[in-house]
A and B are shown apart, each in its own frame.
Chain A
């Protein structure tokens, strides 16, 4: 488990348009740059923000990560409250 690397990838996605574009185009290739195991890569690629936050990742990042994808805020809250979207 690498909370630090999870935070790094979410930070990179929230602060760089180029990274967002690369991630949207080929998430597998983009995530290969980071020291994440397969489970962690799947969580990021699948926008599993609840599971990511449960690993100690700062929720400012999980929220920003969700919103940068164009997903709705009310769906984010459902997921975080384990009500699912």
Chain B
């Protein structure tokens, strides 16, 4: 039986690539070291598959069609929004697992949009590049949630989706060892007049909820509160919610937090505890 053996929440900040000298060297080193530690932790867990939960930034899906949640069931390629040092390329895909999860969803009330040859953006590309790719042979399932463009995926539905992913994994016939990665920034404002403002108080509230497996706090957050205190970019915490649910909401450990004004984002990292059956 396939198992979820680990989980993480991480940022996916493209400004790291565009403006590498923005923060202090110490801050930058600290962030990259945390990504490297997570890659090592994935190796320690003997994981062979990553389910990376990202979100579109009005890059992949336009006004013609705005899906609530998408899963890769075939090839994956990206990031389509190439970054300095991170070029668009094929990403090794676990097609069978993505297909299985989608089929379980169709039977149980989760009408996935599927990407049979799926392009992803930096929300998948960055954690893949820094955490998954260093572990040779790993495959990925890409999940994209509607966090950047309205209508947003409700937080409650993000939680339910995570539980569904967990349940579907237990029904997969393989012996995969899977890590779930919720990919998103905490407070950040993308393109609005508050761009560059980071709110460590809001960020701590979110990281505390993640570390304690606090479903009630996460689901009590309204969109108005998130937009007010965290900004439009903070809507990405839906990916944390989904990852928390997928790993059973056993809490976890905050590994790092940096409020990086020059990278316009509160960047939080945590490992999610998983209780193996």
Binding site for B on A (CB under 8 A): 4, 7-8, 11-12, 14-15, 53, 58-64, 77, 80-82
Contact = CB atoms under 8 A, between A and B. Distances in A.
Given A8-B62, A8-B63, A12-B62, A60 B193 contact: no
B129 interface: no
Nearest to A8: B63
A59 B63 CA distance: 14
B contact patch SS: loop
A58 B62 CA distance: 12
A7 B63 contact: yes
Given A7-B63, A8-B63, A61 B58 contact: yes
A77 to B, nearest CB: 6
B191 A59 contact: yes
A59 B192 contact: yes
Given A80-B193, A80-B195, A59 B232 contact: yes
B219 interface: no
A contact patch SS: helix
A80 B192 contact: yes
B63 to A, nearest CB: 4
Nearest to A11: B62
Of all A-B residue pairs in the complex, the 6 with the closest CB atoms, nearest first, are: A63-B191, A59-B191, A80-B193, A11-B62, A59-B192, A8-B63
A8 B66 CA distance: 12
Nearest to B63: A8
Listed residue (B59, B63, B148, B149) with the most chain A CB atoms within 10 angstroms of its CB: B63
Contacts of B36: none
Contact of A77 (B150, B190, B195): B195
B63 A60 contact: no
Contacts of A82: 193
A40 B4 CA distance: 50
20 contacts: A7-B58, A8-B62, A8-B63, A11-B63, A12-B62, A15-B59, A58-B148, A58-B191, A58-B232, A60-B58, A60-B191, A61-B58, A61-B191, A63-B191, A63-B195, A64-B191, A77-B193, A77-B195, A80-B193, A81-B193
Contact of A60 (B64, B148, B196): B148
